[in-house]
Structure 1
């Protein structure tokens, strides 16, 4: 989830952009991100694994599940081969609503997407689902009587328990019909040492949206009542790592750098 930036304070969104090699980051973002890289050199690989999951999941949803419209929550800037481009590779009539909390990201995103048919960026907070669902541009592009791909990638670990992230996900899914899908990733320190976890979380504590660590079991709760699809041919349906989902060689993709984000795609029955 993006968060409003100030010049002297790092943001999680800017740090993530830095891990991906982007340019939408400030000196404060870069300094904080470099501290994380020193502690966890594989963080860049983990960020790219998460990005790769988004691309593979969207392609699968468009090509295999027949989904033509997507709600991309906490999307950040639509650069780096994002949702609308992947959808356009598969279908001509795809529609994408990007949602971000940062008005600067929204303004820049709409400039980048000017003239791109069936795509918009709106300002919205994932903690306020009704404002997103009822937004005029959402209603203009998304047909809530047809299946929707709800994308919540690398967002919910920035939503504390007090805001009931499970209830927020349920609200978005209540608004879409049977045949819709949820594609979700969530960071977890399950496979980190306590020393690394504490050091990384201390750095992120200086951002406006410090993360909340959740276990695999807690992340599985987001998929309650849904049908989780197999992450790769012949694989067991269930939560896996972002780099493994949809990978051509799942065994090779199961590396330390891919174990930061749990991921799954699930269908609403």
Structure 2
């Protein structure tokens, strides 16, 4: 499947470029209009950090520079990925959710949201949204034979655009609860774009009993996020997002009911077992939470 996906990506390099604005590249960040194997890409770098194969040498070069200066970044990438899996299991198995809207699918190796959800409930419906052409190509190749999982092109920064997309309206019944995933999305949105209002736009459109899943880059404000780490994250060829305080991140979930244990380091959200080794400070730089709409 992975080789098929890369084949699709290779073909898309020759598609006529189309201007797309994505949140991953605001301000002085890149605004990709087509797949360019000569420029690093956030989704592909994350895939490389996970040990995946859906990336190019330019992405691996950035990964290697990051890991040289902060070796635990690979562990943090896996912590985020594992958080998504545990949350999906909770929602599909314990909360009875059978509809999922994932606004940050990325390029994972395995254990995608739809795989975890549909393992527990074969009737679960999952819709992924993206604007990144790399992610879109990957999603369409991966989901070609799955009639309960769909990939749509929509910009998560505009909730109305997402919910009014014909495929979202077709496959998700918004009279029934739905889980919306914002894992590493609004951390790429500057304050001027009002990330709290973006999350509120989703919360306003989903019915009572629905959930918002949030993960965000974290500035602990205790000195552990050193100037060197900040430089690594924010000046790594493509930039890895805005780091915000716990208070700021928590404010994005105002009006919702936090599921225990609340907003915590992603590795601390109902871990599968005891921690076998001490964590590096870098692994504390992402917070995650699940919140229910009353």
With the length of structure 1 as denominator, give the TM-score of the two structures.
0.90
Aligned to 2:265: 241
Aligned to 2:159: 129
Aligned partner (choices 193, 196, 201) of residue 229 of structure 2: 196
| Alignment partner of 1:213 is 2:237 | no
- Mapped partners of 1:94, 1:248: distance in 2: 23
- Mapped partners of 1:86, 1:2: distance in 2: 26
SS at match of 2:116: helix
Aligned to 2:292: 267
SS at match of 1:243: helix
Q: How many angstroms does 1:200 deviate by?
A: 2.9
**For residues 218-233 of structure 1, what are the structure 2 equivalents within 5 Å?**
218-231=248-261
SS at match of 1:223: coil
Choose 2-11 or 17-26, whichever is displaced more: 2-11
- Mapped partners of 1:196, 1:258: distance in 2: 12
- Mapped partners of 1:192, 1:96: distance in 2: 35
1:62-114 Cα deviation digits (max 9, x unpaired) = 11111100000021236421011101121121000011111342133112211
**For residues 176-187 of structure 1, what are the structure 2 equivalents within 5 Å?**
176-187=206-217
SS at match of 2:268: coil
How many residue pairs get aligned? The number is 260
- Mapped partners of 1:82, 1:143: distance in 2: 22
**For residues 42-53 of structure 1, what are the structure 2 equivalents within 5 Å?**
42-53=72-83
**Gap runs ≥5 in structure 1:** 232-237
Q: How many angstroms does 1:184 deviate by?
A: 1.0
Choose 214-223 or 105-114, whichever is displaced more: 105-114
Q: How many angstroms does 1:56 deviate by?
A: 0.4
- Mapped partners of 2:275, 2:143: distance in 1: 37
SS at match of 1:60: helix
**Gap runs ≥5 in structure 2:** 1-22, 26-31
Aligned to 2:5: none
- Mapped partners of 1:250, 1:188: distance in 2: 23
The 1:248/1:103 distance shift into structure 2, 3 A limit, reads closer
| Alignment partner of 1:41 is 2:71 | yes
Aligned to 1:234: none
Q: CA RMSD in A?
A: 1.9
| Alignment partner of 1:82 is 2:112 | yes
SS at match of 1:185: strand
With the length of structure 2 as denominator, give the TM-score of the two structures.
0.83
- Mapped partners of 1:20, 1:67: distance in 2: 28
Q: How many angstroms does 1:187 deviate by?
A: 1.1
Contact 2:214 2:289 in 1 (8 A): yes
Q: How many angstroms does 1:198 deviate by?
A: 1.9
**For residues 82-161 of structure 1, what are the structure 2 equivalents within 5 Å?**
82-161=112-191
Contact 1:71 1:96 in 2 (8 A): yes
